[in-house]
């Protein structure tokens, strides 16, 4: 919506990971160096941990993008609580394989034959396991067993494990010593510093085609960093909302007042959403009108009216801007 207003060719702050917009902080550069080494070893495990939204998936995809299409066949798996057999079934499906039976022996045989066929073609398989902190310890151990597949001295299977801090706890547990010995490279991603947050925003704007002067005042950057705590996903969420606000208000530069206005707007919506949720799930709100002959839904109705009014105001502003063009 706001891309044309700011002369952009792409949306710069989408939430889904996109290697085209990858920003390499000092920590990310160090992490990628370790991970490239791990990938070059063609065996074992590469582990990436960090809080939600710190860029684990983006850094892994950015790395794989440089090797896919050559001798690497990659598959991605976003895990839930999968037991070892369920995990094996999902891996077989992730590589697009068909198995006549879903018993474990058949699944292992199907996967092994596929890996051998890749090796004969001069290729190898890499599995990207996202949200790996949700895997039970026995399923992580199953992945270790799969890393035993090899032809002669050539390993056939390598895994990336991406997860939140809980994954480190699982790996450090007493029964995971053999798994730890298979880890070739690992890194833990931290949030961006204030300076990195500023460079991250500038980088993504430039990648999206921004060619104007500084869009955001220097002081405003410090507020954005404080609001988002330097977490890339939170930065994207806030910046996307800020640019929508700028489009509606016809702003070509964001100062502290604009930042504060968006913070206030987003905070108000969060409060409203929490209030509405309480109204909807509170049994008294549903039961009392029938029992007491009075309408306790009035606060909820007023909240809905306020939301509708905000939507109408937004639509009016958008129509006015579109009619100008």
Distance CA 121, CA 111 (A): 16
pLDDT digits (tens, 9 = 90+) for 272-314: 444 544 444 444 433 333 334 434 445 555 655 566 666 666 6
Asked if pLDDT for residue 40 goes beyond 80, the answer is yes
User: pLDDT tens digits for 238-247?
Assistant: 999 999 999 9
pTM of the model: 0.70
178 lies in the same domain as 49: yes
The number of distinct structural domains making up the chain is 3
In terms of domains, do 206 and 176 share one?
A: no
- Does residue 249 have a pLDDT over 90? yes
Q: What Rg do the C-alpha atoms of the chain give, in angstroms?
A: 25
183 close to 47: Cβ distance less than 8 angstroms: yes
Both 224 and 303 in a single domain? no
Residue 254: CATH number of its domain: 1.10.8.60
Please write down the HEC assignment for all residues of the chain. Answer: CCCCCCCCCCCCCCCCCCHHHCCCCHHHHHHHHHHHHHHHCCCCEEEEEECCCCCHHHHHHHHHHCCECCCEEEEEEECCCCCHHHHHHHHHHHCCCCCCCCCHHHHHHHHHHHHHHHHHCCCEEEEEEECHHHCCHHHHHHHHHHCCCEECCEECEEEEEEECHHHHHHHCCHHHHHHHCCEEEEEEECCCCHHHHHHHHHHHHHHCCCCCCCCECHHHHHHHHHHHCCCHHHHHHHHHHHHHHHHHHCCCCECHHHHHHHHHHHHHHHHHHHHHHHHHHCHHHHHHHHHHCCCCCHHHHHHHHHHHHHHHHHHHHHHHHHHHC
254 and 176 within one domain = no
Domain boundary among 159, 189, 219: 189
Q: Give the alpha-carbon dihedral of 270, 275, 277, 282, to 10 degrees.
A: 160
User: Where a domain ends, among 154, 189, 224?
Assistant: 189
Q: Say how many C-beta atoms besides its own lie within 10 A of residue 242's C-beta.
A: 26
- Same domain, residue pair 38 and 178: yes
Same-domain check for residues 203 and 140: no
**pLDDT of the residue at 65:** 75
Whether 151 and 260 map to the same domain: the answer is no
Q: What is the pLDDT of residue 316?
A: 64
Q: What is the spatial distance between Cα 33 and Cα 141, in angstroms, rounded to a whole number?
A: 26
Same domain, yes or no: 164 and 30: yes
- Specify whether 69 is located in the same domain as 213: no
| Residue 120: both structure tokens together | 């004969």
Does some domain include residue 16?
A: no
Say yes or no: 159 and 43 in one domain: yes
Domain membership of residue 247 (yes or no) is yes
For residue 139, is it within any domain? yes
Indicate if the pLDDT at residue 12 is higher than 80: yes
CA 164 – CA 131 distance, rounded (Å): 7
Q: For residue 44, is it within any domain?
A: yes
Q: Which of 236, 252, 272 is the last residue of a domain?
A: 272
Based on the domain organization, do 122 and 224 belong to the same domain?
Answer: no
Q: What is the pLDDT of residue 94?
A: 93
**Across 211-216, average pLDDT:** 85
Is there a domain that residue 11 lies in? no
Confirm whether 3 is domain-assigned: no
125 DSSP β-pair partners: 73, 157
- Is 149 inside a domain boundary? yes
Q: Is residue 170 part of a domain?
A: yes
Q: In this structure, how many other beta carbons lie within 10 angstroms of the beta carbon of residue 162?
A: 25
User: Residues 135, 246: one domain?
Assistant: no
pLDDT in tens, 82-131: 999 999 999 999 999 998 888 999 999 999 999 999 999 999 999 989 89
Domain of residue 171, CATH code: 3.40.50.300
Q: Identify the domain containing residue 53 by its residue range.
A: 26-189
């Amino acid at each position: 919506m706001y891309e044309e207003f700011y002369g952009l060719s792409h949306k710069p702050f989408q939430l889904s990971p996109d290697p085209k917009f990858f920003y390499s902080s000092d920590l990310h550069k160090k992490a990628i160096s370790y991970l490239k080494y791990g990938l070059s070893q063609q065996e074992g495990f590469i582990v990436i941990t960090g809080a939600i939204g710190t860029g684990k998936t983006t850094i892994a995809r950015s790395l794989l993008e440089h090797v896919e299409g050559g001798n690497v066949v990659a598959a991605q798996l976003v895990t839930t609580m999968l037991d070892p057999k369920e995990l094996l079934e999902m891996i077989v499906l992730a590589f697009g394989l068909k198995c006549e039976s879903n018993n474990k022996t058949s699944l292992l045989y199907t996967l092994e034959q596929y890996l051998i066929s890749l090796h004969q073609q001069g290729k190898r398989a890499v599995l990207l396991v996202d949200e790996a902190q949700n895997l039970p310890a026995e399923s992580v151990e199953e992945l270790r067993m799969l890393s035993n597949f090899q032809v002669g001295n050539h390993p056939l299977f390598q895994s990336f494990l991406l997860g939140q801090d809980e994954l480190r706890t699982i790996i450090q547990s007493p029964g995971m010593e053999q798994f730890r010995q298979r880890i070739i490279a690992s890194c833990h991603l931290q949030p961006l510093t204030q300076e990195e947050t500023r460079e991250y925003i500038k980088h993504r704007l430039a990648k999206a085609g921004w060619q104007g002067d500084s869009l955001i005042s220097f002081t405003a950057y410090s507020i954005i960093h404080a609001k988002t705590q330097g977490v890339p996903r939170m930065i994207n969420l806030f910046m996307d909302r800020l640019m929508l606000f700028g489009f509606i208000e016809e702003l070509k530069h964001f100062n502290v007042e604009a930042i504060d206005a968006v913070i206030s707007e987003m905070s108000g919506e969060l409060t409203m959403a929490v209030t509405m949720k309480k109204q909807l799930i509170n049994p008294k709100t549903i039961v009392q009108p029938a029992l007491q002959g009075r309408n306790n839904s009035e606060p909820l109705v007023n909240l809905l009216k306020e939301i509708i009014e905000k939507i109408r105001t937004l639509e009016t502003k958008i129509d006015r801007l579109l009619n100008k063009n």
